[in-house]
Chain A
Amino acid sequence: SQTIHQWPATLVQPVGSPLSLECTVEGTSNPNLYWYRQAAGRGLQLLFYSVGIGQISSEVPQNLSASRPQDRQFILSSKKLLLSDSGFYLCAWSVKGPTNTEAFFGQGTRLTVV
């Protein structure tokens, strides 16, 4: 069966420090991968999505970047964190092909920038 791992679960970082959040998927090949941010326990904002290795699409201009160095690995990064980067970050994957497939989410990373 497929599983998605996301770490760390919580992170407290000072303003101006770098960030690296990692997400890996097991049990499937060539998935679509996503990074979402959830503010204040409410709606999800799509940050990045990827349809293949090295292929990243950014949804909103921001202080963050994403990379997909391997088929089932998706990394969210920042060179210098801002206070506004605080939030709950969720990685997700979905099967390619039919457009009606649901997304499967990791457990999330709560990032607090201080």
Chain B
Amino acid sequence: AQSVAQPEDQVNVAEGNPLTVKCTYSVSGNPYLFWYVQYPNRGLQFLLKYITGDNLVKGSYGFEAEFNKSQTSFHLKKPSALVSDSALYFCAVRELNTGGFKTIFGAGTRLFVKA
């Protein structure tokens, strides 16, 4: 079965510094990977996805993610963090062995950006 792991419960970064939120995955076959963001008491918002092609995927709000097949990682990055980026971030993988319609989420990483 597919799974994702987010090894950090929390990431702290100063505004203007680069940020990285880590994600590793375990899949059989080609992975379909996603990042979502959640603000307090709100639903999740889609940020970006990796399906195939370039290993560096660009998404919303200046975020990007790097797919690394050898390390089975899909880390979320942003060159310069903003205070408004503070939120809960989820990595997710699409489970293919049941028709592709189940998305498995990681436990989430809380990002704090300090001014």
Residues of chain A whose beta carbon lies under 8 Å from any beta carbon of chain B: 6, 32, 34, 41-44, 46, 49, 51, 88, 90, 92, 94, 96, 98-100, 102-108, 110
Contact = CB atoms under 8 A, between A and B. Distances in A.
Contacts of A44: 44, 90, 105
Interface stretch (B12-20, B62-70, B75-83, B94-102): B94-102
B40 to A, nearest CB: 8
A103 B46 contact: yes
Assign chain B's interface to a size class. 20 to 34
Interface of B: 32, 34, 36, 41-46, 49, 51, 88, 90, 94, 96, 99-108
A25 to B, nearest CB: 13
Contacts of A51: 99, 101
12 contacts: A34-B103, A44-B105, A46-B104, A90-B44, A99-B99, A100-B32, A100-B49, A100-B51, A100-B100, A103-B46, A105-B44, A106-B43
Contacts of B44: 44, 90, 92, 103, 105
Contacts of B108: 41-43
B43 A43 contact: no
